[in-house]
Amino acid sequence: MFGKGASSSKSMEIIGSEKKFSVLIVDDDPIIRKIHSALLSKFTKEIQEVKNGKEAVDLCRSGASFDIIFMDKEMPIMNGLEATKELRAMGVNSTIVGVTSCDLSSERNDFIAAGQNQCYEKPLTIEKIKSLLSELNKNN
C-alpha cells in the first residue's frame, strides 16, 4: 500500500494518486474530529470517526480495519492509552498515532509503551501528516 521499496518522493506520488489507505479518527472533541477529517480528506477518502477509545475498540472488534488510527489521549469512557493496549492485545496491527494537547515530550514514553507507533501534538497539520506518511513509506 505504501509503495514498498520506493523512494519517499515517489511514494508520496503513489499515495497522492491512489488514496487507498483507511483512517480512523478517535477523539472526544467534535471540532478536532471535523478539522482532522477535513485535513485527512486531502490524502484519502476512507475516513471514519469515533468519539472515544471504547468505540474504536468496538469498531475494530466488529471487523473493521484501518491502516492508520489517530488516537487522542484523554477521552471519557476509555482513554487513548487504554484503547491502544486493548487494540494491540486484540492483534490489531494498524499504525496507531497518538495525538495530544499535553506536552508531548513528557508523554511520548507513555504513548510508545502503550503500543503506539508515533505521536504528535495537536493540532495535526498537512506537514505532520505528510511527514507521517513519508515515514510509513520508508518503514514499509
Contacts of 109 (CB under 8 A, 6+ apart): none
When computed from its CA atoms, the radius of gyration of the chain, rounded to whole angstroms, is 14
Helix (H, G, I), strand (E, B) or coil at 86: helix
The CB-of-4 to other proteins minimum distance in angstroms stands at 31
Which residues bind to other proteins, rule: CB under 8 A? 28-32, 34-35, 38-39, 72, 74, 101-102, 122-123, 125-126
The CB-of-9 to other proteins minimum distance in angstroms stands at 22
**Residue 60 vs 81, nearer CB to other proteins:** 81
Dist CA 52 CA 83 (whole Å)? 9
**Residue 32 vs 119, nearer CB to other proteins:** 32
**Residue 29 vs 46, nearer CB to other proteins:** 29
Neighbours of 15 (CB within 10 A): 22
The CB-of-123 to other proteins minimum distance in angstroms stands at 4
The CB-of-3 to other proteins minimum distance in angstroms stands at 26
- Give me 140's grid cell: 514499509
The CB-of-89 to other proteins minimum distance in angstroms stands at 26
The interaxial angle of helices 126-139 and 30-40, nearest 10 deg, is 60
**Residue 48 vs 101, nearer CB to other proteins:** 101
- Give me 2's grid cell: 505504501
Helix (H, G, I), strand (E, B) or coil at 126: helix
